[in-house]
């Protein structure tokens, strides 16, 4: 394409830019499908606690957007699901907590209880909340505290 004569060079560049945008859209679409498959897998192996499915996992180097998409997919596809997704990103740690429409736990309250452990900030709604901060504790330690808090506040 770039071997085009000068008069057609702008057109060739335009085609390259258009093709690149289409490829970027396809990558986003495929990443979404991968998260859906991952969400389905996590639901299949989730732990049954009373009438709920607990999906709890620590990831490495996931973005907040990925955690949110994964969490929302899980709770939208199973009303009984409770999801706690944590990502360790070097010196930072991020987490998402959510519940399906059949859950009664307040995820905003849960996040507020967890954020001091990581000097974090965050928020959300009673059904879905997120936050992040400094990795003062490991993801597994944070997950353990979250699960203990959930267990102590059974609905």
**Number of domains forming the structure of the chain:** 1
Determine, yes or no, domain membership for 139. Answer: yes
From first to last of its 155 residues, what are the pLDDT tens digits of the chain? 556 566 788 888 888 999 999 999 999 889 889 888 999 898 888 888 878 899 999 999 999 999 999 999 999 999 999 999 999 999 999 999 999 999 888 999 999 999 999 999 999 999 999 999 999 999 999 999 999 998 887 54
- CATH code for the domain of 127: 3.10.310.40
pTM above 0.75, yes or no: yes
Within-domain flag for 93: yes
Q: What SS3 state is found at 120?
A: coil
- Residue numbers of the domain that contains 57: 37-152
């Amino acid at each position: 394409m770039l071997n085009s004569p000068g008069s057609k060079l702008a057109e060739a560049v335009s085609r390259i830019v258009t093709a690149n945008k289409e490829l970027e859209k396809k990558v986003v679409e495929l990443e979404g499908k991968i998260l859906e498959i991952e969400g389905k897998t996590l639901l299949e192996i989730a732990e049954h606690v009373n009438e709920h499915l607990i999906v709890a996992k620590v990831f490495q180097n996931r973005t907040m957007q990925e955690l949110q998409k994964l969490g929302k997919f899980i709770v939208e596809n199973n009303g009984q699901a409770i999801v706690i997704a944590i990502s360790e990103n070097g010196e930072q740690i991020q987490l998402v907590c959510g519940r399906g429409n059949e859950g009664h736990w307040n995820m905003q309250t849960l996040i507020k209880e967890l954020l001091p452990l990581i000097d974090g900030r965050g928020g959300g709604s009673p059904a879905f909340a997120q936050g992040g901060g400094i990795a003062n504790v490991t993801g597994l330690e944070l997950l353990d505290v979250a699960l203990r808090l959930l267990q102590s506040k059974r609905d």
